[in-house]
Amino acid sequence: MNYFSSDFKLGILGGGQLGKMLLTETRKFDIQTYILDPSDEAPSQFGATKFFHGSLMDFDTVYKFGKMVNLLTIEIENVNLDALDKLEEEGLPVYPSPKTLRLIQNKGRQKDFYVQNNIPTSPHQRFIDLNDLRKSLEKDELEFPFVWKSAQFGYDGNGVKIVRSAIDLMKLPDVECIAEQMVPFKNELAVIIVRSVSGDVKTYPVVEMEFHPEANQVEYVICPARIDEKVAQKATEIALKVSGAFNHVGLLAVEMFQTKNDEILVNEVAPRPHNSGHYSIEASYTSQFENHIRAILDLPLGNTNSKVAGIMVNLVGEEGFSGQVVYENISNIMAIDGVTPHIYGKRETRPFRKMGHVTIVNENMDEARKIAEEVKNSIRVISI
């Protein structure tokens, strides 16, 4: 198959910032791209060969979109899987497959999958709704505190809450959910695995994630993680086991906890490019986005090693600001060596909305971390 400068059409379900960054690679290789997204202001609308406005959860919309392309991939998990099943049955390559997505899309099913495959994860219980969870508390089958997660449609800290008391329960939506045992951990880590159609596999270095205490969003991604080599090796081995169990094609980001006694527990996965791999655009020999394209087209995978230490800072909307976005002090941070901002193209900001990220590269990790702090304290995402 000739993908380059040809009639081949790659379809991408989802046109957010991940789609936009995938398009940088498809444009580099001159691959035609069709994108479907529910927002007519999606960041990917300008970079695609053709952009289609429509629901990712509607069977007919996804099916008809799939019939226009030669291969289909995703940048978001919440898509209509029945449509993908039918397209795959009719011979369209879909990566990751609907079978893989079905295991991952529902967090309860995902957690059960880890248990069934002897993959270390925190103990959990599944509930059909909030009432079901309350009954479990009344019977002392569940106790405070615990981590509540919506079984479906959670993202970027939405759909995850720490529940410490009955008062916290009152703030939760009445949806299918899971309750996870709180894990006393010292680090949150992630490993991105890339797997091609032929089964070639490469791993990116283990990264360390520092979270915002209130928003439950990643503030900094640090590569390489500042951890013992044995812990990094264990995290990579477990991530490879997870990847093998899911048998995905493309990228799989495996998020993990490093416990107080250096055990590794899998938190959750994302079968697509991921926030924890954004640093790779500047810091790696091959970015996660390029390797996702290589993997789904069954081309040789690129070198996943880092050229230099990299730290990513998320740019999220400040509390108290909604409306037309303004990036305050952006020219100040661009004056610093090794600092590259990525603006996602969302015109409207709101509190904690992901609006962009900044990568800091430096030969010296400590220096990179200092600059990251300076960047975080300088730039503000506000509104007019």
Tally: H helices and E strands in the chain: 12, 20
- Bridge partners, residue 340, by sequence: 359
Q: Is 25 annotated as a binding residue?
A: no
Domain 123-181 and domain 308-384 have a common topology: no
pLDDT at 350: 96
Cβ–Cβ < 8 Å for 66, 81 = no
What CATH fold (topology level) applies to the domain 183-307?
A: D-amino Acid Aminotransferase; Chain A, domain 1 (3.30.470)
**Residue 120: count of CB within 10 angstroms of its CB:** 16
Tell whether domain 123-181 is in CATH 3.40.50.1820: no
Q: Looking at residue 156, what is its pLDDT? A: 61
Domain extent listing, the chain:
9-94, 123-181, 183-307, 308-384
> Which residues are CB-neighbours of 24 under 8 A, at least 6 positions away?
47, 289
CATH classification code of 308-384 = 3.30.470.20
Amino acid, single-letter form, for residue 379: I
Q: Is 143 annotated as a binding residue?
A: no
H or E element at residue 321: none
Judged on CB neighbours under 10 Å (0-12, 13-18, 19+), 362 is buried
Strands (E), the chain: 9-13, 32-37, 50-53, 71-74, 124-127, 146-150, 160-163, 177-181, 185-195, 201-203, 207-211, 218-223, 250-259, 264-270, 309-316, 323-328, 339-343, 348-349, 354-362, 380-383
CA distance 151 to 79: 15
Q: Is 312 annotated as a binding residue?
A: no
1 has binding-site annotation: no
Q: What is the DSSP letter of 46?
A: G
Candidates 3.40.50.2030, 3.40.50.20, 1.10.10.10, 3.40.50.720; CATH matching 9-94? 3.40.50.20
Q: In the prediction, which pLDDT does 216 show?
A: 66
Determine whether the annotation assigns residue 268 to a binding site: yes
- pLDDT in single tens digits along all 384 residues of the chain: 899 999 999 999 999 999 999 999 999 999 999 999 999 999 999 999 999 999 999 999 999 999 999 999 999 999 999 999 999 999 999 999 999 999 999 999 999 999 999 999 999 999 999 999 999 999 999 999 999 999 998 766 678 999 999 999 998 999 999 999 998 999 999 999 999 999 999 999 999 998 877 666 778 999 999 999 999 999 999 999 999 999 999 999 999 999 999 999 999 999 999 999 999 999 999 999 999 999 999 999 999 999 999 999 999 999 999 999 999 999 999 999 999 999 999 999 999 899 999 999 999 999 999 999 999 999 999 998
Flag whether 290 is marked binding: no
Alpha carbons 218 and 270: distance in angstroms, whole number: 15
